[in-house]
A and B are shown apart, each in its own frame.
Chain A
């Protein structure tokens, strides 16, 4: 790529520059907005997953307590 860059023509900064920049910025902005929306979705999934893990843990604790009570009653 380096020899390629050495032969690079100078970028003309005339009237056309703002239109070319505008087109590429619009494309970039669309990609950034899309990735931001997807990141928000993934954060929601992560939060729900944490909630579910907490719910499952709470359930298994409750079940263990009930089993322990049953064992005590059976043993006594």
Chain B
């Protein structure tokens, strides 16, 4: 069920990624201030935006889970958060590389943008131990949904607080009219954002498909009363 449309989605994602990389390295002009190092912007910023939106999406799915009680919404929420945490790792690493090249430091502790993202990331890193500390699946899903909603609401609040704070070194690229970017850079950025967004959707769909297959296999095993294999996963919520 979840695998439907995965192939065209994957093809669209690869095409968008290739277009994005082509625009980044062959079309977008060099930044007058940062030069070639600014090319990291087209990877780092879309990853950050998609990761943060993914956390909020996880919260929205969690609301649907609490309203309907359907396990599939819990699985959607879990996979959205899981994928955004992976994207968050990429944001932190690419950001550190950019910081080292631009500012000469891997990390700047008094910069609100960096520290706030780290706080959001660490908060979602606690989602896993919190979730799997509860054995009963139904209670686990309910509590995880409450966590996802609370944390998901914190993300935009945190974003607004950072925008209002005084920045020390981190640039506010989209603070001015038209994003403060020339047209060619803006086009490249938007294509990169689309590509990273499509990648997130594809990987979420891919993971849901695998979880669905695994869940159906378990049910089949129970139905025909077959012996359980060793090393079966107990961590992921089952998907029907």
Residue numbers of A with Cβ under 8 A of B are 1, 4-5, 7-9, 11-12, 14-17, 19-20, 22-24, 26-27, 30-31, 34, 38, 41-42, 45, 48-49, 51-52, 55-56, 59
Q: Are the CB atoms of A1 and B22 closer together than 8 Å?
A: yes
Q: Are the CB atoms of B210 and A27 closer together than 8 Å?
A: no
- Chain B residues with CB below 8 A from A27, complex form: 43, 47, 90, 94
Could you show 6 A-B contacts with beta carbons less than 8 Å apart? Answer: A11-B25, A15-B101, A19-B101, A42-B210, A45-B213, A52-B226
- Chain B residues with CB below 8 A from A59, complex form: 224
Interface flag for B172 (CB, 8 Å): no
Complex interface residues of chain B between 95 and 124 (CB less than 8 A to chain A): 97-98, 100-101
Instruction: Give the shortest distance, in Å, between B192 (CB) and chain A (any CB).
Output: 11
- Chain A residues with CB below 8 A from B22, complex form: 1, 4-5
A27 to B91 Cα, complex, angstroms: 9
- Chain A residues with CB below 8 A from B47, complex form: 27
- Chain B residues with CB below 8 A from A20, complex form: 36-37, 39-40
Q: Are the CB atoms of B94 and A51 closer together than 8 Å?
A: no
Interface flag for B159 (CB, 8 Å): no
A7 to B217 Cα, complex, angstroms: 54
Residue numbers of B with Cβ under 8 A of A are 22, 25-27, 29-30, 35-37, 39-40, 43-44, 47, 86, 89-90, 93-94, 97-98, 100-101, 199, 203, 206-207, 210, 213-214, 217, 220-221, 224, 226, 229
Q: Are the CB atoms of A12 and B35 closer together than 8 Å?
A: yes
- Chain B residues with CB below 8 A from A42, complex form: 210, 213
A16 to B89 Cα, complex, angstroms: 22
Tell me whether A52 and B221 are in contact in the complex, defined as CB-CB below 8 angstroms, given that A16-B36, A23-B97 are known contacts: yes
Q: Are the CB atoms of A12 and B30 closer together than 8 Å?
A: yes
**Which chain B residue lies CB-closest to A5?**
B26
A51 to B25 Cα, complex, angstroms: 49
Instruction: Give the shortest distance, in Å, between A15 (CB) and chain B (any CB).
Output: 8
